[in-house]
Structure 1
């Protein structure tokens, strides 16, 4: 392409090369549609694993208390242990399931669905 002088205020400046755009150019380039590799939220997955394990232990202990396996006489402790276990287990299971499906590449699942705790 021929170089043209850019003139501003009547004085020539540095040589700037110009080129015509292609007639079929719609203003987009392929690079802007390329997906970046997924960022894995390791802290969130570790927290989900801890919640899942603590909830599982509390559900098992609450079930054994409810069944009378430990022989605890005041049975008013069993229901709160089960409720807390379920409340801790559910978010851990939910986020671990999303992380598993995202790691296997199932359609509709991505690591973006897991809240990230990086500051």
Structure 2
């Protein structure tokens, strides 16, 4: 003779579990079935990458000009190059971070936070 079945999650024998009918308005569908995968803004991510790399290049160049490693007579151009580099670097870094966190599925971040340029 077999032992009675039990619900493994709660340890209750299946003969004591109460079942009920679904309501007549339930059509068997849930909203998650119809949710499409997120649209990835490739152009915006490419632009953010270009901004990030350009800003990084300008910051490094401005730092080397400021220290005098590249040219001692052009040290007066170091500050504008650094400022432009920072202004270009920050939005690129910000949007790349959002794209990374959205790709990893962190709560609160989605590709909708990145401008998609009307694609």
TM-score by length of 2: 0.72
Identify the residue that residue 91 of structure 1 maps to in structure 2: 91
Identify the residue that residue 107 of structure 2 maps to in structure 1: 107
**Counterpart Cα distance in 1 of 2:103 and 2:42:** 12
Give the superposed CA RMSD. 2.3
**Structure 1, residues 88-107: CA drift from partner, whole Å, max 9, x if none?**
00000000000001111111
Instruction: After TM superposition, give the deviation of residue 24 of structure 1 in Å.
Output: 5.7
Identify the residue that residue 75 of structure 2 maps to in structure 1: 75
Bigger Cα Rg: 1
**Counterpart Cα distance in 2 of 1:39 and 1:105:** 14
Larger strand fraction of residues: 1
Instruction: After TM superposition, give the deviation of residue 40 of structure 1 in Å.
Output: 0.2
Please state whether the residue corresponding to 2:59 is helix, strand or coil: helix
Unpaired runs of at least 5, structure 1: 1-22
Instruction: After TM superposition, give the deviation of residue 117 of structure 1 in Å.
Output: 1.3
Identify the residue that residue 36 of structure 1 maps to in structure 2: 36
| Aligned length, in residue pairs | 97
TM-score by length of 1: 0.72
Instruction: After TM superposition, give the deviation of residue 74 of structure 1 in Å.
Output: 3.8
Unpaired runs of at least 5, structure 2: 1-22
**Counterpart Cα distance in 1 of 2:74 and 2:44:** 37
Instruction: After TM superposition, give the deviation of residue 86 of structure 1 in Å.
Output: 0.2
Identify the residue that residue 9 of structure 2 maps to in structure 1: none
